[in-house]
């Protein structure tokens, strides 16, 4: 049995979960709701820049868990792949500037590129930016994405593949991000989480709705879907992870609602269903 969660001390919310809010509104809203930590999406930094965002975040007292997202390494030309690496180095700099110790990588895919080639582009890309990450003291988390995103978002679709990449790269600056939404169906999930012991850098939660009305923006609130989140959390914690539990929900339905009330729902669902 997974130990129950009794307080909000490990709760982190992704700014994309409250997408209608600006970074300023996210900070004010999370702070008012006594949510201790935040993961920042670049979307929310863009209007003000990383420097200003960093100042706001430091003033807020919120713990910055990670910057989302780097990656998107595969490309049909060598020049485009170089540009992707340069962009990832800028993202690492942004993470350092906002005080995020981690960049989450959505590794990328392209319908024009076969999957084995895309995976090689990903390995090569991470290898190329690793010295920059190390110099900035920012870690990189490979996040396997659900196979329904293998065409254009990530050629890394199972934790097995992510673990293999972490092993191949062999650096303490590279680990995995585990999102229950992407991995819950995997018959080897428990074994692969065990294999990821001490390399789990992030843990994301939400739920899988039935029916799922959209491939991208119909994630569910914890407890309203079929994912056994406490069981997966138990495996992740047994594998040495005791960091923040990040609520990342893309949902047109929730984005259309009052975001303060949404935070209230998140806290309740977190205490009951995570």
The answer to whether 208 and 240 are in contact (CB under 8 A) is no
Q: Is 112 in the site for its own copies (CB under 8 A)?
A: yes
* Alpha helices in the chain, H assignment, sequence order: 23-32, 42-45, 50-60, 78-98, 115-136, 159-169, 180-183, 189-195, 229-238, 252-255, 259-273
Stretch that binds its own copies, among 31-39, 92-100, 112-120, 243-251 (CB under 8 A): 112-120
Both tokens of 117, joined, read: 């080639």
Q: Is 74 in the site for its own copies (CB under 8 A)?
A: no
Q: Is 21 in the site for its own copies (CB under 8 A)?
A: no
Name which of residues 139 to 168 contact its own copies (CB under 8 A).
146-148, 150-152, 157-158, 160-161
Stretch that binds its own copies, among 7-15, 59-67, 107-115, 170-178 (CB under 8 A): 107-115
* Helix, strand or coil, per DSSP, at residue 77: coil
Query: Could you tell me if residue 240 is left (phi over 0), alpha (psi between -120 and 50 degrees) or otherwise beta?
Result: left
Helix (H) or strand (E) holding 185, with range, is: none
Count CB neighbours of 229 within 10 A: 22
For the chain, helix, strand, coil in percent to 5 are 45, 20, 35
Contact with its own copies (CB under 8 A) among 73, 173, 181, 184: 184
Q: Is 226 in the site for its own copies (CB under 8 A)?
A: yes
Stretch that binds its own copies, among 45-53, 70-78, 110-118, 132-140 (CB under 8 A): 110-118
Contact with its own copies (CB under 8 A) among 8, 115, 130, 191: 115
Q: Is 6 in the site for its own copies (CB under 8 A)?
A: no
Which residues of the chain form contacts with its own copies (CB under 8 A)?
111-112, 114-115, 119, 146-148, 150-152, 157-158, 160-161, 184-187, 208, 210-212, 215, 225-226, 228
């Amino acid at each position: 049995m997974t130990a129950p969660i009794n307080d909000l001390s490990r709760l982190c919310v992704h700014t994309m979960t409250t997408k209608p809010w600006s970074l300023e509104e996210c900070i004010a809203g999370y702070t008012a709701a006594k949510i201790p930590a935040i993961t920042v999406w670049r979307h929310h930094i863009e209007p003000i820049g990383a420097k200003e965002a960093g100042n706001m975040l430091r003033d807020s007292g919120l713990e910055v868990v990670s910057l989302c997202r780097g990656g998107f390494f595969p490309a049909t030309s060598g020049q485009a792949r170089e540009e992707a690496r340069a962009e990832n180095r800028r993202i690492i700099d942004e993470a350092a500037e906002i005080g995020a110790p981690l960049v989450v990588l959505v590794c990328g895919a392209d319908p024009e590129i076969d999957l084995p080639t895309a995976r090689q582009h990903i390995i090569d890309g991470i290898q190329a930016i690793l010295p920059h990450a190390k110099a900035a003291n920012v870690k990189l988390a490979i996040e396997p994405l659900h196979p329904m995103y293998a065409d254009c978002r990530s050629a890394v679709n199972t934790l097995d593949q992510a673990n293999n990449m972490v092993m191949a790269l062999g650096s303490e600056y590279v680990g995995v991000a585990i999102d229950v939404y992407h991995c819950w169906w995997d018959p080897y999930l428990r074994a692969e989480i065990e294999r990821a012991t001490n390399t789990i850098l992030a843990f994301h939660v939400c739920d899988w709705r039935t029916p799922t009305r959209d491939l991208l923006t119909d994630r569910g609130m914890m407890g309203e879907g079929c994912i056994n989140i406490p069981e997966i959390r138990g495996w992740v914690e047994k594998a040495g992870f005791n960091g923040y539990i990040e609520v990342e929900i893309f949902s047109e339905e929730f984005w259309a609602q009052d975001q303060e009330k949404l935070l209230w729902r998140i806290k309740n669902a977190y205490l009951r269903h995570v």
